[in-house]
Structure 1
């Protein structure tokens, strides 16, 4: 083969290689794009009309509505000193470190706390809303009761006391050693029991736009009209997406003291979510849990389908899900 032929063949091979690479790049999409959830709420609501999340600005806003999916974000890292803990009563220790590896010791107070700490099992059968105490050096500690072996996730929701700093929700894996069999997700239902209280769920959890969730508390068939403030409101709602446990910011609306409490929330995608409502009455915090499905166009399925059930969270032996 003469020199001219060899150069022509080489150029053609290069063109084919670059063409194949371009085709792979455009077909797969950006590196690091979120995988589809199989099965996690405290993240800012996505703007109304958010898109598909496939490269358009509105879609990017929708994806950003999910928090707690990263252990590090915006220069802060959740460091678990106890990433492994035995089943039963134990103590968790952790810290928030800045970009230089220093423990953060100054936080803004939000909803009555410097930091909100949630632990949930990967199958969403166990939920704990904990209230850790911070030492002077920035180490946080809290007792916890995790009843069974398996995978868990710890969430820290906070805002550093730094000018211009925004709220951050970080998530880290936590494990309890031992034989593990995941529980199925509880069925969709419009009502739930919580230690003698009945809670009814209405409204919508919308994919890509803000919707209102309305919960009504009663006891012995009578509406509870004297709920007590808890974390600055008459209820505190956490929503976790089934599968990856994406953590959604849910904002309480004006109203109270019962029987209804209302929240604004945005689902970052269609799918199944687990809602945990904390409410306080007669000096004690109780938790009602629901499974809902957010459709691509909006309406949350709260029990009208064939899978409707009791809504009771029977997998967690500690009914209120709290440690104080």
Structure 2
């Protein structure tokens, strides 16, 4: 909150305005925060977003953070810059929200989690599927034993069009579809079936031939035989439909399923089936995230996702032997 201001909203800065998710934050930011500054390495991009938010624009992260009375930062930097930008915030003791994966490999993410924890700086992560309609519907199955989640988005070359070509270089992005789309669903799987003892990863770039995977499958198995299968990809065509998705869960109370159009069904253990139509588009979840950040800022983001939880997720996505140098995605 800016000292001496009549505007009682917390004061925020946005770091990394060219990120493809940035437009999804803007309505929430304009409602719940007074945005002091918008940063992007491309000043024209920062200026365009800043104009919508009534904020100043800069290409320099420190200049954005030098504004008085900043309460929180939203960090949407390119992945290879996330650790450096987050460290700037930690040094200033500023709470922040960060997009996954918060770095380009496990070493960076572990450093960030440790440094933020040691400095007692509050951090939350944009794992927006938590508590969303898909998550809530699947949980009707009760104690989940078997789960399958598929989320296949548009082709990887869209990142060239939307101003994020670095996403196609695994040394700058940290990987491909598994790194980018997988965290939402691996995080859900961990919360649904528990910590796996066995992990099988399969990745391919065969469809589009880019430097990052455009299809990936992860099979997670627990010591008690619970299993979650996560399929993600950049294999869907450019289309107003945006993506293919499908979800199922079998558990102690029954079987839940959801398809691409949001048609959902749940059959309980007595054989009774109920149906509903859900919103499966993930875009609106980012405005909800901004609301949650505003509501929990004073408590240090109590109840929201943490860097430690993101680390648990990324330890399943990034294999331990991988190094950012030479990563194929």
**Common fold by TM > 0.5:** no
Q: Which has the larger radius of gyration?
A: 1
Q: TM-score, normalised by structure 1?
A: 0.28
Q: Which has the higher strand share?
A: 1
